[in-house]
Amino acid sequence: MACTVKRAFKYRFYPSDEQAAELGRTFGCVRLVYNRALAERTRAWYCEQRRMSYVDTSAALTQWKKTEELAFLCEVSSVPLQQALRHLQAAFSAFFDKHAKYPRFKSRKKSRACAEYTRSAFRYRDGELTLAKMGGPLGIVWSRPLPEGARPSTVTVSKDSAGRWFVSILCEDTIARLDPVGRAVGVDAGIGSLVTLSTGEKVTNPRHERHDRERLARAYKELARKQEGSANREKAKWKVARVHARIADRRRDFLHNLSTRLVHENQVVVIEDLNVRTMVRNHSLARAISDAAWRQLRAMLEYKAAWYGRELVVVDRWFPSSKTCSQCGTIREKMPLNVREWECRCGARHDRDVNAAKNVLAAGLAVSACGAGVRPQRESSRTGQSVPKQETQPATVGISRL
């Protein structure tokens, strides 16, 4: 059995001087159109109480091109400019649906430099990709082949802060579902060990940022010594960006390997719903939590489980997995972070992380079998009285508990 999904294939490429100049102009025009449309929509609302749609901003773009000030917009492909307006419309839709904050202006220094081309603005033939307004194909390093008979629908070209050029090609791909296996695993995220499994296995946290911290500190020290606006300062910025890119690449590769392994080996993967945004407010642990990239690992598990026919269960963040005895179910009142091993009154001795992973697994199987939420016993904010705790009985549903 297989499923058809939209999948992006990302490659690095090396443009010629002419291609780099053309793409640089396109990036600048895309940013200008986005910011100008955002300013126009904001002005229309606050000054005229009028909402502008994508159609209105598209008509405004046509008028901008006719002015002497913005006539240079005609020199680049019109498709990336239209796509910028569509992205702005999507940002406003998310804002009105209360899924995101009000759209912000794109910065030349901080925003990602990218341009999106739809099918009418590029040609893919015989393994070569040619964009509109360019005479020759891009020098792409094909690190892996596209699916056989692929017909790309969207191409996104970007340049990161380290000066590397990437092209992301979106096309349909057929992914074969994995054969069912009778295994389930609970995953407890941590800092000392990146994840601890209910099997007792602990995956060491590679701490990529810590390993390159000295190199990063030297790069920042050199940057601080350079004069504002000088060419040497730009070179120093590039060196800092390269260190950050190295850290991010190594982290992403490690998380891909880990998430693929978990999905391939288990039919059900159970994780906790961690509130990372709140956790990084702890200044003592913020750097380590950010380096662990738990949210990125969860995102990978989500789409890979959907691809390969696995089940990913997310347990409520308030479930007391660390304080609950996995043998008798007793919940301790307090469990400081420095307590790594503890003994329950039933006589069971627990490793904090392994015990938490076992509890996460049991709760996740209960959720999967019954569809009920898993929440701890705590006081109501309105009445001040204790709220009954939902009991979570271990549910096997034909899956061996590890």
Tens of pLDDT along 97-141? 999 999 999 998 888 999 999 999 999 998 899 999 998 999 999
DSSP bridge partners of 159: 113, 165
pLDDT at 71 over 60: yes
pLDDT at 368 over 80: no
Task: Categorize the per-residue pLDDT at 332 as very low, low, confident or very high, splitting at 50, 70 and 90.
Answer: confident
pTM of the model: 0.84
Integer Cα distance of 315 and 360 in angstroms:
7
Q: Minimum mean pLDDT among 144-148, 359-363, 383-387: which range?
A: 383-387
Distance, C-alpha 270 to centroid of its chain = 19
Environment class of residue 353 by beta-carbon count within 10 Å: exposed (0-12), middle (13-18) or buried (19+)? buried
Average pLDDT over residues 353-361: 91
Integer Cα distance of 106 and 293 in angstroms:
25
pLDDT at 396 over 70: no
Q: According to the model, what pLDDT value does residue 230 have? A: 94
pLDDT at 329 over 70: yes
* pLDDT > 70: percent of the chain: 92
Integer Cα distance of 42 and 304 in angstroms:
39
Task: Categorize the per-residue pLDDT at 393 as very low, low, confident or very high, splitting at 50, 70 and 90.
Answer: very low
Distance, C-alpha 399 to centroid of its chain = 30
Q: According to the model, what pLDDT value does residue 7 have? A: 93
Q: According to the model, what pLDDT value does residue 55 have? A: 96
Q: According to the model, what pLDDT value does residue 166 have? A: 97
Average pLDDT over residues 164-174: 95
Most confident stretch, 78-82, 319-323, 347-351, 385-389: 78-82
Task: Categorize the per-residue pLDDT at 323 as very low, low, confident or very high, splitting at 50, 70 and 90.
Answer: confident
pLDDT at 381 over 50: no
Q: According to the model, what pLDDT value does residue 348 have? A: 84
pLDDT tens-digit readout, 188-228: 999 989 999 999 999 999 999 999 999 999 999 999 999 99
Q: Please report the beta strands in 138-243, taking only residues with DSSP state E, as ranges in sequence order.
A: 140-141, 154-159, 165-176, 183-189, 193-197, 202-204
Task: Categorize the per-residue pLDDT at 372 as very low, low, confident or very high, splitting at 50, 70 and 90.
Answer: low
Coil, strand or helix at 140: strand
pLDDT at 391 over 50: no
Q: According to the model, what pLDDT value does residue 337 have? A: 81
| Catalytically annotated residues | 188, 272, 353
Give the angle subtended at the CA of 261 by the CAs of 259 and 265, to the nearest 5°.
125
Mean pLDDT value across the chain: 88
DSSP bridge partners of 124: 129
* pLDDT > 90: percent of the chain: 71
Q: According to the model, what pLDDT value does residue 327 have? A: 84
Average pLDDT over residues 135-163: 94
Q: According to the model, what pLDDT value does residue 371 have? A: 59
Give the angle subtended at the CA of 9 by the CAs of 5 and 15, to the nearest 5°.
150
